[in-house]
Amino acid sequence: MSKTKKSAGESTIALNKKAKFDYFLNDRFEAGIALEGWEVKSLREGKVQLTDAHILLKNGEAFMIGGQINPLIQASSHVRPDNTRIRKLLLHKREIAQLIGAVDRKGFTVVPTAMYWKNGRAKLEIALAQGKKDHDKRATLKEKDWARDKQRILRTSS
């Protein structure tokens, strides 16, 4: 198997499924992440968790807080890794201004939704989000159950 086909199929590193359940996701942005060497090695092994992560916008910069990248034992013998350190996100100024405007004026929050590889670089997909109420979450669960039941019915009837 060629290297390009393998990397194209394995481009997703991690998904934040909890964000889809807890928020209505609106505009999405692609951000680069400032990482250390041991973090990149851990990402290649898929040792990342985005469920508790959120984005902080401060002084015209964006940071990811709470995202966990667990170090590999063999890769982190010479460094002292901090798996929950604050990581800077790399965005254009106009994108940061758009995010800050939506958060300040419209009451949105910014959450990470996915992490993936693009041209050999780790990218983080972030989204402007509005919190869901409990009844919205119940409706989401009903839709999910119905979609699963529908697939089951179609499979058995074929």
Tokens representing residue 23 in the block = 């928020």
pLDDT at 3: 45
User: Does 88 have pLDDT greater than 70?
Assistant: yes
Express each pLDDT in 147-156 by its tens digit. Answer: 998 898 888 8
Q: Residue 52 falls within a domain, yes or no? A: yes
- Would you say residue 35 lies in a domain? yes
Q: What percent of the chain has pLDDT over 70?
A: 90
User: Does a structural domain hold residue 156?
Assistant: no
| CA separation for the pair 120, 80 (Å, rounded) | 25
Q: Domain total for the chain?
A: 1
pLDDT of residue 9: 45
Report which secondary-structure segment, H or E, holds 133. Answer: none
List phi, psi (to 5°) of 87: -115, 135
Mean residue pLDDT of the chain comes to 84
Whether residue 72 lies inside any domain: the answer is yes
User: Is 80 exceeded by the pLDDT of residue 114?
Assistant: yes
Which CATH number is 113's domain given?
2.40.280.10
Per residue in 135-146, pLDDT (tens digit) is 777 888 888 889
Going by pLDDT thresholds of 50, 70 and 90, the confidence category of residue 75 is low
In a domain, 158, yes or no: no
Residue 55 near residue 87 (C-beta atoms within 8 A): no
C-alpha angle with apex 5: 4 to 10, nearest 5 degrees?
Answer: 100
Give the pLDDT mean for 7-19.
75
Which pLDDT band holds residue 8 (cuts at 50, 70, 90)?
Answer: very low
Model pLDDT, residue 65: 92
Going by C-alpha positions, the residue among 28, 31, 15 that lies closest to residue 89 is: 31
Q: Is residue 99 part of a domain?
A: yes
pLDDT of res. 5:
43
Angstrom distances, CA of residue 76 to CA of 80, 82, 121, 135, 152: 7, 10, 20, 45, 46
Tell me, yes or no, whether 141 lies in a domain.
no
In a domain, residue 8? The reply is: yes
Assigned token pair, 157: 């009837």
Per-residue confidence (pLDDT) for residue 80, from 0 to 100: 75
Q: Which has the closest alpha carbon to 111: 56, 70, 40?
A: 56
Count of C-beta atoms within a 10 Å radius of residue 29: 20
Task: Report d(CA 4, CA 7) in Å as an integer.
Answer: 5
Half-sphere exposure of 105 (CA within 13 A, CB side): 6
Full domain range(s) for residue 59: 3-132
pLDDT on residue 7: 45
